[in-house]
Structure 1
Amino acid sequence: MFSKSAKGHNDILLTPNTSVNYPRDAATNLPIASQALKQFEHVLKTKKDSKLAAIVFKPINFQQVNTILGRHNSDILLLQLALCLKKSVSENPNLIDFDNNATSVKIARLHGLDFLVVFDLSNTKHEVKSIVDELCHQLAKAVPDAMSFKSFSLNFELAFGVAISKEHGNSVEEIVSHATDALLKGVDSGQVIQYFDNNSIFYTEQKLRLMECLRQDIVDENLHWYLQPQVDINDHAIIGFELKVNWHTNDGKVLELADFINLAEHSGDVYCLTKQMFKQAFKALFSLHKIGVYSQVSVNLSSQNLLEPDLVDYIEQQMKNYNIAGKYLMIELDEQIMLCACQRAKNTIDQLKSLDITVAIDNFSGSYESLRYLRKMVIDQVKINCQDLDTSDDNRADKAIINALITFTHSMKLPLIGTHIDNSETANSYISMGGSLIQGEMIHKGVNPSEIEPWLQNWYIKHPKAKPNRS
């Protein structure tokens, strides 16, 4: 039986299987998570051959209600929603009853905005997916077209995550956890109903192994560095190099920085990797200066590292260690980093500029905000991705944008490098628009720093008019 608490805030739920009194959720008057999971576990153990589908769902656009109306008022709307959902499934005989009392309650509130129903699939002869999908659609239809409070109204949308016993887990905790994971994945991908995928467990384990291997290779400095030349196509002069890095995984795959930077960020090793990049850049500059070549070497810097408190001090220390002036180092920042940079990041950029380090914008798009930013900060170079620039008619828009950017940078007397120029068709298209500075596999995929001297000697033999930078 249900009884009111002394203060009248919660209903008390007493189950026949335990002497523990479980309070009802105050906002929705539904069974709370601990009671629901206990009932779920009881059915899972007593019906060992049963097949149970845990469906975790939530209103995905409810968070704004708390912000606008406050928690007390939003709880009133949440109660309306819970009543509608509870009523819609109350007569379904295949759903687990979380109450075990005279009043049947087949829906429970988990943590936050998550709700739970558990479907017993043992007695159905239909395809599991069709049965579960039908239940999810039934719950979605139970939501009123517009729920109102005072002058505020909102159309709720539900998203569902599904995990099935034995297929997706053997314990209640595991099954519900996997259903919740599926829900989160569905929300991220825009899927209304998302079933748990066992491959995601493998992917997570695989990702953790990769992270550990990457961490060890970073600690052991077992990464592969190379220099990609940047050339003025008019006279074939080497104007600079971009330092790039590959990681050779244990299974033989060769990953570029863009392919494994997220692993380094998630493992917390990205700053260690970045410091190695700067160290390698100064080592390369030292080797170039030793043979009388004074071209710049550029390093791509992520937004996360731009906020490291000792970044500038570390770079300055490397300058002293290798006796290299700051003007020979260029730092490339992605355009979005520049546009979204906080004051702390802008202060770091100012400190880098004070060391005479040059700054480039990578993946420049020429957006209005970018142009405004160029006026506010001294940028030494911009780079545009020419990967999709070819002779096909489908790329007319890309050609028009790149053509406009080349014209714009010329008018500002700002050096522009076209990157990812990997074939003669792309190069010819870029050059026909007035571009002259190129980087890509058409010149070289990347030179090992230890082989830079013979490569340069061979380059100048092939292009005798090219003059190395000797100052």
Structure 2
Amino acid sequence: MRYFIVALMALTTPPVVAANVVATPNWLLWLPLSLVAVIVVLIWRIRSLQHRLDQQITAPVEQKWLHDESTGYPNKQLLRIQLQPLLQHSEDRHYALLLFKVTQFESINEALGYQHSNILLAQLAHRINQRLQDHDALLCLEWREDKPVRLCHLGGVDFVAWADITEQPYLAEQLTREIEQTVVQPLVLHSCAMDYQLVSGIAYYPEHGSQLNELLDRAYQALQHHRVQSDAAVFDPALLHYTDEKLRLMAELRQAIEQNELVLYVQPQIDLKQRNLVAAEVLIRWKHPRLGMLAPEDFLALAEQLGVIYSLTEWVLDRAIAMLAELKADFPKMKIAVNISSKDLLQDELLDTINRLLQEYDVKPDRLVLELTERALTEDPVQAITMLQRLKNLGIELALDDFGTGFSSLFHLRQLPISHVKIDCSFINQLHKSDTHMAITGAIIDIARNLELGVVAEGIEESLVEQKLIRMGCTLGQGFFYSRPFELKGLQPWLNQWQHQHGNPPAPPSLA
């Protein structure tokens, strides 16, 4: 631009002509100066256009760098930039990181493809942000159409918001609960309604961490636990004892219950003298799509610790009582035994659930046997025994499983409303090889008979063991000698075959 000014000054200055020199026409003197001026203007114009072009190119790059491509919402990088100055002056402030995850979105991807599912994901982000935008305690990441954007898209199906909870300590819990309950209407695309669910997790600053990544990890652990147990979504330091894989497994177990990925096996119980069929114990298996067939010991203890066990027990009870209804015509006295845990006995609705299922399937209560271990009585003995008494009053038979492996079983036997005990297979397997096991087994059988309880021996695999048990006064048995476990749906054919091979015996005796 300065060259242009110099040129103009030159143009406005009249030329000096010597006396003895022939004057040159004015237009010839102005011609080179005009050309210089034109060139200067062109250069200035080109540079101006280049600057505008650079700005137009840089804006989308920054937009892409700080926003998620699928939804257009601020991403983790933008959140990090916004938090840096905030956390530098946070000595007296308390914050909460709110994490939201969309579940069951894989089915939407499979049904619509990623392009269309991203449209639905953007709709969902908009719904969540609408619920958040009126809360001034939440961090505003940017403004759009004079409205605050308070939601950050971490990528995939994960979203985050940041709240100042100094004045409102329970704001995060209130918001996550509200959003989980209200932002669940089906997403609609091309007249198709797609269902989904939202689950949340909360981590507090500085209690649970001082760095963004640390808080995200804590919030994710809280989310996984909340997804499994359906209680508070706030991180608890106790969750550090559970790995991500364990929490993921329990989340998958809850989903497996809902989608019927579990399988029930059964193993018959036989009257040792009469060879009558008395009952069948159900044994659960999990056909895991990623880990293959899982045995009970692979997931039951963890399910009990993380609060999934009662949902699992409800599922098993439903299938077991439904099978009793199917057997009612041909085997009206046949019983099915179901294992319950200590957590089940502490659920007030257990009695109502069982009573409802018995009425729904029109099954008599005495055809259901509930088996519990001594450990089920240690957490809250008073409430557990009270529940057992209520179950017995309903007409359900109760059994103490793995008897002989604990130290206080004799004490509990006198106050438990049970009808029989089951001798642990660890004693039965070595019965004919160890005098010690013989003595312990004999003592258990004598105690049970004196208390007028029936006895079931588990793990019978040889005829020699069976004969010893009969001589010792044991009445019932189960094990590979009679049958390996098989799927519940095959119980009626197996019963028909057993009855055919052993004639038509009289009605089976009570387990007691």
Normalised to the residue count of structure 1, the TM-score between the two structures is 0.53
Q: What SS is found at the alignment partner of 1:305?
A: helix
The one-letter amino acid of 1:283's match is: A
CA distance in 2, matches of 1:305, 1:467: 35
* Match for residue 304 of structure 1 among 335, 343, 362: 343
CA distance in 2, matches of 1:440, 1:467: 22
Q: What SS is found at the alignment partner of 1:290?
A: coil
User: By how many angstroms is 1:368 displaced?
Assistant: 7.3
Question: Which residue of 2 is the match for residue 405 of structure 1?
Answer: 444
Question: Which residue of 2 is the match for residue 335 of structure 1?
Answer: 374
| 1:451 and 2:476 matched | no
User: By how many angstroms is 1:340 displaced?
Assistant: 5.4
Question: Which residue of 2 is the match for residue 216 of structure 1?
Answer: 255
Kept after mapping to 1: 8 A contact 2:429/2:461: no
User: By how many angstroms is 1:232 displaced?
Assistant: 0.9
Q: What SS is found at the alignment partner of 1:239?
A: strand
User: By how many angstroms is 1:265 displaced?
Assistant: 2.8
CA distance in 1, matches of 2:391, 2:430: 40
User: By how many angstroms is 1:393 displaced?
Assistant: 8.2
Q: What SS is found at the alignment partner of 2:426?
A: coil
| 1:354 and 2:393 matched | yes
Kept after mapping to 1: 8 A contact 2:428/2:457: no
Question: Which residue of 1 is the match for residue 280 of structure 2?
Answer: 241
Question: Which residue of 2 is the match for residue 418 of structure 1?
Answer: 457
User: By how many angstroms is 1:282 displaced?
Assistant: 0.7
User: By how many angstroms is 1:302 displaced?
Assistant: 0.3
Question: Which residue of 2 is the match for residue 314 of structure 1?
Answer: 353
Kept after mapping to 2: 8 A contact 1:418/1:437: yes
The one-letter amino acid of 2:334's match is: S
Q: What SS is found at the alignment partner of 1:332?
A: strand
Kept after mapping to 2: 8 A contact 1:235/1:465: no
- Residues 287 and 355 (structure 1 numbering): CA distance in 2 closer, same or farther, change over 3 Å? same
The equivalences for 1:22-41 within 5 A come to none
The equivalences for 1:274-313 within 5 A come to 274-313=313-352
Question: Which residue of 2 is the match for residue 137 of structure 1?
Answer: none
Kept after mapping to 2: 8 A contact 1:232/1:437: yes
CA distance in 2, matches of 1:333, 1:422: 23
Kept after mapping to 2: 8 A contact 1:236/1:465: no
User: 1:121-152 CA distances to partner (integer Å, 9 max, x unpaired)?
Assistant: xxxxxxxxxxxxxxxxxxxxxxxxxxxxxxxx
Higher relative contact order (CA 8 A, sep 6+): 1
| 1:365 and 2:394 matched | no
- Residues 253 and 428 (structure 1 numbering): CA distance in 2 closer, same or farther, change over 3 Å? farther
CA distance in 2, matches of 1:469, 1:459: 13
Segments of 5+ residues of structure 2 without an aligned counterpart are 1-88, 92-210, 218-239
- Residues 378 and 267 (structure 1 numbering): CA distance in 2 closer, same or farther, change over 3 Å? closer
User: 1:412-441 CA distances to partner (integer Å, 9 max, x unpaired)?
Assistant: 331100112234454344344332311122
* Match for residue 263 of structure 1 among 302, 313, 319: 302
Kept after mapping to 2: 8 A contact 1:319/1:326: yes
Question: Which residue of 2 is the match for residue 157 of structure 1?
Answer: none
User: 1:286-328 CA distances to partner (integer Å, 9 max, x unpaired)?
Assistant: 0110324322211111001111121111111111101112111
Q: What SS is found at the alignment partner of 1:387?
A: helix
Question: Which residue of 1 is the match for residue 503 of structure 2?
Answer: 464
Q: Identify which range, 431-440 or 413-422, moves more after superposition.
A: 431-440
Q: What SS is found at the alignment partner of 2:269?
A: strand
CA distance in 1, matches of 2:282, 2:332: 16
CA distance in 1, matches of 2:446, 2:509: 30
User: By how many angstroms is 1:214 displaced?
Assistant: 1.9
User: By how many angstroms is 1:252 displaced?
Assistant: 5.2
Kept after mapping to 2: 8 A contact 1:389/1:395: no
CA distance in 1, matches of 2:507, 2:277: 7
Kept after mapping to 2: 8 A contact 1:312/1:351: yes
User: By how many angstroms is 1:237 displaced?
Assistant: 0.2
Question: Which residue of 1 is the match for residue 54 of structure 2?
Answer: none
User: By how many angstroms is 1:233 displaced?
Assistant: 1.8
The equivalences for 1:123-162 within 5 A come to none
| 1:345 and 2:384 matched | yes
Kept after mapping to 2: 8 A contact 1:380/1:415: yes
Question: Which residue of 1 is the match for residue 220 of structure 2?
Answer: none
The one-letter amino acid of 1:402's match is: T
Identity of aligned residues (%): 30
- Residues 345 and 413 (structure 1 numbering): CA distance in 2 closer, same or farther, change over 3 Å? closer
- Residues 303 and 453 (structure 1 numbering): CA distance in 2 closer, same or farther, change over 3 Å? same
- Residues 218 and 391 (structure 1 numbering): CA distance in 2 closer, same or farther, change over 3 Å? closer
| 1:204 and 2:219 matched | no
| 1:427 and 2:466 matched | yes
User: By how many angstroms is 1:216 displaced?
Assistant: 1.6
CA distance in 2, matches of 1:326, 1:247: 28
User: By how many angstroms is 1:470 displaced?
Assistant: 10
CA distance in 2, matches of 1:220, 1:376: 40
CA distance in 2, matches of 1:351, 1:392: 36
Kept after mapping to 2: 8 A contact 1:417/1:439: yes
Kept after mapping to 2: 8 A contact 1:460/1:466: yes
CA distance in 2, matches of 1:470, 1:412: 18
CA distance in 1, matches of 2:274, 2:449: 18
Q: Which has the higher helix share?
A: 2
CA distance in 2, matches of 1:345, 1:278: 19
CA distance in 2, matches of 1:367, 1:435: 20
CA distance in 2, matches of 1:401, 1:470: 26
- Cα-Cα RMSD: 3.4
Q: What SS is found at the alignment partner of 2:281?
A: strand
User: 1:154-187 CA distances to partner (integer Å, 9 max, x unpaired)?
Assistant: xxxxxxxxxxxxxxxxx9x98xx9xxxxxxxxxx
- Residues 359 and 389 (structure 1 numbering): CA distance in 2 closer, same or farther, change over 3 Å? closer
User: By how many angstroms is 1:451 displaced?
Assistant: 2.2
The one-letter amino acid of 1:338's match is: L
CA distance in 2, matches of 1:440, 1:224: 20
Question: Which residue of 1 is the match for residue 481 of structure 2?
Answer: 442
CA distance in 2, matches of 1:271, 1:433: 38
User: By how many angstroms is 1:230 displaced?
Assistant: 0.4
Q: What SS is found at the alignment partner of 1:376?
A: coil
CA distance in 2, matches of 1:302, 1:359: 13
- Residues 394 and 455 (structure 1 numbering): CA distance in 2 closer, same or farther, change over 3 Å? closer
Larger gyration radius, structure 1 or structure 2: 2
Q: What SS is found at the alignment partner of 1:352?
A: helix
Normalised to the residue count of structure 2, the TM-score between the two structures is 0.49
Question: Which residue of 2 is the match for residue 8 of structure 1?
Answer: none
CA distance in 1, matches of 2:271, 2:255: 39
